[in-house]
Homo-oligomer: A and B are copies of this chain.
């Protein structure tokens, strides 16, 4: 089978600001589904747009580490370490990033980015160490799954009343990654 340049290429993939969603972000991921030549090569790339005060909400990538750099604006970013002996148990590590700063989110850890500027959008480029990194938006997966997770389970896990869980599950959980 003859290969050609189109197998390794995606035009106009990451150039334009995209309309942001309800929480104020839009992730455009270019992975092996868009570029078949990425198969077995262990990498993908994304552009992320942030509205003023928008966020890419707490999420994980089950199969990839992410390295991010800011192209425009300012981002407040962070991740939480896993359950482990002190002093690193559930530690929240955060930074305010300006243009050109680089930050790393290790594989599988919960992380987010937030644009603290009330007036200006922000833009970042993120690279991920998998041809198909996956994304799990925490609130959506926990409260917006189909079918819903039992409210008995979630009420106890989150230390709230069942009707709080029911209320959360009744919200609209818009997809914000693919």
- Which residues of A approach B to under 8 Å, CB–CB? 2-5, 8-16, 23-24, 30, 34-35, 37-38, 41-45, 47, 55, 57-58, 60-67, 69, 71, 76, 78-85, 87-95, 98-110, 112, 114, 125, 127-129, 134-150, 152-154, 156-160, 164, 168, 171, 173, 175-178
- Our pick among B8, B101, B140, B146 for the contact of A104 (Cβ within 8 Å) is B8
**A57-B156, A58-B153, A168-B160 known; A11-B83 Cβ under 8 A:** no
How far in angstroms is the closest Cβ of chain B from A49?
Answer: 12
User: Within the complex, what minimum Cβ distance (angstroms) separates A124 from chain B?
Assistant: 10
Partner of A157, one of B58, B94, B107, B158: B58
Q: Which residues of B contact A62 (CB under 8 A)?
A: 60, 62, 82, 106-109
How many copies of this kind of chain does the complex include? 6
What distance in Å separates the Cβ of A39 from its nearest Cβ neighbour in chain B?
Answer: 10
Q: How far is the CA of A177 from the CA of B90 in the complex (A)?
A: 11
Given contacts A3-B93, A178-B84, contact A9 B57 (CB under 8 A): no
Tell me the complex Cα distance, A114–B69, Å.
23
A108→B134 contact, CB < 8 A: yes
13 A-B pairs whose Cβ atoms sit less than 8 Å apart in the complex: A2-B87, A2-B91, A9-B102, A14-B100, A15-B100, A30-B102, A45-B69, A45-B127, A57-B153, A71-B71, A92-B145, A92-B146, A114-B152
Evaluate whether A60 and B58 lie within 8 angstroms (CB atoms) in the complex, with A100-B15, A139-B158 already known.
Answer: no
Which residues of chain B have C-beta atoms less than 8 A from A109's C-beta? 62, 136
Contact, CB under 8 Å: A156 / B23: yes
